[in-house]
Homo-oligomer: A and B are copies of this chain.
Amino acid sequence: MSYPKLVERFAEIYRLDHAITFLSWDQMVMMPEHGNDARSSSIAELAGIRHRMLTAPEVSDWFGESDVQGVNDAATQISLREMRRVWQQATCLPEALVVAKIKAGSTCEHGWRTQRANNDWSGFLKNFLPVVQLAREEATLRQQAATDEKGLNTPYEALLDLHCSGDSQSLIDSVFANLRAELPTLLQNVRDHQSSRNTPVISGEFPITKQKALCEQLMKVLGFDFAGGRLDESMHPFSTGVAGDLRITTRFRTDEFLEALNATAHEVGHASYQGGLPADLEGLPVGDYRNMCIHESQSLLFEKQIFLSRHFMQYFTDVVHQHLPGATAYDASALWSAATHVEPGFIRVEADEVCYPLHVLLRYEIESALINGKIEAQAIPDLWNQKMNDYLGLSTEGNYTNGCLQDIHWTDGAFGYFPSYTVGAVNGAQIFKALCDDNPQWQAKLGSGDLGFVREWLENKIWSRGCQLTSQELMQHATGSTTNTDAYLAHLNARYLEESH
Contacts and interface: CB of A to CB of B under 8 A. Distances in A.
A356 B245 CA distance: 39
B32 A30 contact: no
A204 interface: no
A34 B230 contact: no
A25 to B, nearest CB: 8
A15 interface: yes
Interface string A237-275: 000011111000000000000000000000000000000
A248 to B, nearest CB: 12
Within the oligomer, what is the number of copies of this chain? 2
Interface stretch (A37-45, A81-89, A178-186): A37-45
A31 interface: yes
A11 to B, nearest CB: 9
A22 interface: yes
A39 B247 CA distance: 14
A228 interface: yes
A113 to B, nearest CB: 20
A478 B290 CA distance: 61
Lowest 9 CB-CB distances: which A-B pairs, in order? Answer: A35-B245, A34-B244, A15-B45, A18-B42, A34-B228, A15-B42, A19-B42, A35-B244, A33-B227
Given A15-B41, A22-B23, A32-B229, 18 more contacts: A15-B42, A16-B46, A18-B39, A19-B19, A19-B45, A22-B39, A23-B23, A26-B26, A31-B245, A32-B226, A32-B227, A34-B225, A34-B228, A38-B242, A38-B243, A38-B244, A46-B46, A49-B49
29 contacts: A15-B42, A15-B44, A16-B42, A16-B45, A18-B38, A18-B41, A18-B42, A19-B19, A19-B23, A19-B42, A22-B39, A22-B42, A23-B23, A30-B230, A31-B245, A32-B226, A32-B227, A32-B228, A32-B229, A33-B227, A34-B228, A34-B244, A34-B245, A35-B228, A37-B244, A38-B242, A38-B244, A38-B245, A39-B245
